[in-house]
Chain A
Amino acid sequence: MPDVIEVRNLKKYFDVSGGVLCAVDGVSFKVEKGTTIGIVGESGCGKSTLGRTIIHLEESTDGQIFFNGQDVTRLKSRELRRYREKVQFVFQDPYSSLNPRMTIEETIQEPLRMSRRYDKARLGQAVAELMERTGIEERLAQSYPHELDGGRRQRVSIARALALNPEFLVCDEPVSALDVSIQAQILNLLMDIQEESALTMMFITHDLSVVEHISNTIAVMYLGQLVETGSTQELFAHPLHPYTKALLSAVPSIAIHSPSRRIILKGELTSPINMGPGCRFRSRCRHAGPECEGDQRLEEVRPGYFVACCKVSGPK
């Protein structure tokens, strides 16, 4: 399958008081058509900024973004608008991403109307189809967001994101605010939609069990950089980077009869302001040594499997 999205050495820096915040600092990966990449990491690691930069909600500082093989890094006006129809975003908080003054119907209709591709009659039909596809009851068309529960609101966000038949959907913590029973409904919906329309997705989350369920490949991010990336199965079965290992071991497990060995990390994620050279995880890493003072590159340790740690090397 061809790659729908490819980013090469993508950077997004912010000027802040005290220096430069390297939110995304040289990230490269590809996403094959019809698959889902899970971006995993803790708050402040830059995963949301990465998603926002790819779909041009933030202008990248350096590096390249390719969409279906075309360089879309520096798009302007009309091309940018066309690109944005093809890439859509679902936010974590459906309470703040929906306009409280618009009915559900108006909300879903808006992108269709803006595209000027539909006349009035077909507009209504398209909205009805989208609502059906995302499991929103017809009777809610004239309701306002505050009248809906969190799960339904997230369905509305998804319906709106799907309105213009995007090829790439970035979901930023779309189920984090929902209770597990509702979360499962939304995850099923996203996977059904992907199957129907060969949608390519980027799923940003801190929830490792969710990401394991929904992703084909996973990229683990730490302070603006990828530390490990590969197939979901491999990454969960044999994590290699010390950070990934600690992260996976920290997830509380319901398997009461096979307790896992927990690696408790020292310290916390520091802020990525004025980052010096060297491995960014080394201050918390129990394997850190002098060789970690140098920059770490993602190396292919198994076919299609990359790790950025000098302590992990060669095919395993």
Chain B
Amino acid sequence: MIAAAWICLLLPLAGALAITLAGNLLPKRIAGILATSSVAGAFAAAVVAFVLMLGDSPGQRSHVSTAFTWLSAGSFHAGFSILLDPLSMVMMMVVTGVGSLIVLYSIGYMHGDNEERRYFGYMALFVFSMLLLVQGGNLLLMLVGWGLVGLSSYLLIGFWHEKPSAVAAAKKAFVVNAIGDATFAVAVILLIQQTGRIDFGAFSAISLGNGGVVNIVALGLLGGAIAKSAQLPLHTWLPDAMEGPTPVSALIHAATMVTAGVYLIARTHSVFELAPHVQDLAAGIGAVTIIVAGLVALVQTDIKRVIAYSTMSQIGYMFVGVGVGAYASGMFHLMTHAFFKALLFMGAGIVIHALGGEQDIRKMGGLRRLMPKTYAMMLIASLALIGFPLTSGFFSKDAILAGALARGNYGAALWILGMIGALLTGIYTTRMFITVFHGDATETVTRHLAGGGSGAAHSAATAAHATDANATDDHAGHARAHHGEGPRTMLVPVAILAVLALIGGFIQVFDWWTGMETWLESVTPALHQPSGLQEAVSSIAGPLMGLLGVYLAWSTYGAKKDTAPRPWALLERKFYFDELYDRIAYGPAATLARLFTRVVEGPLVIGSGDALGQGTRALGERLRPLQNGLVRSYALLIAGSFAVMAIVFLAVR
């Protein structure tokens, strides 16, 4: 089992290294196959480990395997170790499973791109980093994985580096995440200082106590989680991260990386339980994010941004889950969300692909008949997102809400916000769905799809399309190659995910079949158990709100798009967060940087080189008159020094 876990961790790394080292010698197809097989192999290893773990009794399922001692300073040791227990098992399977599907999908999506090899190398690197984060046996190694996924995210968001907006988005993501990394690091340092250890067993009540230090540690961890999971206030990077290729958005910014924050809180739950106020804060932040993100999603016109804000909102649910102590529910929603959100993104990717790179939903419409398979799968995904009864989303979302109710009064407030969130989810999802798939085909759609396979009209259309501001050259090429719904490598993973989105929820059905909860009990026991009534209430009210939202959206957007109300500027500007951060963070930093360049770097750094040269020259000029060429002066100097030396010798003796 341990061997399987190590194989799972290292196989994607081997894939990434192989792709990188082979360089241009590797055909592009092979790069894609290599990446996919390495991640799929990791998934196979994870499944093997899972099956073997099932054989252990529940209390015996936690294994730590250390490869070598990485750091050793006095009594402090940190090993390069992996922790294999039910919680990391869940994450491993989700990451590698969904990951391999998405990498397979990318083979079709990224076909024809100039730098396909680099893309697959980065994807494999990302999977390795995420696995390191998830399997890390101590906080330090987890922090390493944390940083590496941030790096992979940066590399992949800015993949099309000729686009300045992509580069800027990558930088933004990295910088905002750096804030979280900093708080995370502070927490780790404090932990080392307090307990002298860093493995996950260090979080015991005895060593940490109940005082202020634990709160600071928990806050630090929470800060890291918020940044990585794009919760308020460190959420501004996620919508811009949609500049990356769609599979990247699916894998990193929906299914795995952004859920790392939830995993972190679940993993270090003992710390949070010692700092209950911070845990409440986590839940509160999650709840607020649900609402804010949901509101902003209502007015987005870019299909990927709608889904991005939806992701933000759903992660808010997960934060509520772990914030009230319903860890298993939070992880459950993490898993189901990975299914249907990746599915949503991939479906959107198929649409974008087919429309030659068009991402504005106002230019879409009537795709229901032209892309029936995609329509069906997006329908499934949307239903799961809304929490339609019996879909996976239904079970997981309502488990969280029930857990919130079980917490007490504060939880009830969270519950209400969650319900409002469900309403908003229904509205924006339906809005997007209707705008894209229903109604009449727009001019863009007919240009790309209705023309069929006729060469002349199609190439003329794509030529015209190349001048469209939204299209990238790669997509124009794709549309020419396979018009319609895409190759099988793109449709098969989508179909698999659709199935999972439908049936994945049956792992945990209320109180009747608690697969997920029992599985995770040995690691993260829930703090409160919801009563049957609370379960029932949540499970009825949740989908009701969702369906209400569907109805509202249908009546507004279904008939004619033009009757949609004009959204407030507040929503359109995403609550002015970007402007606020620009004012308080970027502005001062830029001013400070300019100041330093002028004052420090100019004179001190560059000037010191000049100054050294000029100073030496000046000194030489001063000393020059000594060389006056007069023999007498030289003789005088000799006589003078002789006199001085003689006196010194005499005095010393």
Same complex origin of A and B: no
Enumerate chain B interface residues (CB-CB to A < 8 A): none
Enumerate chain A interface residues (CB-CB to B < 8 A): none
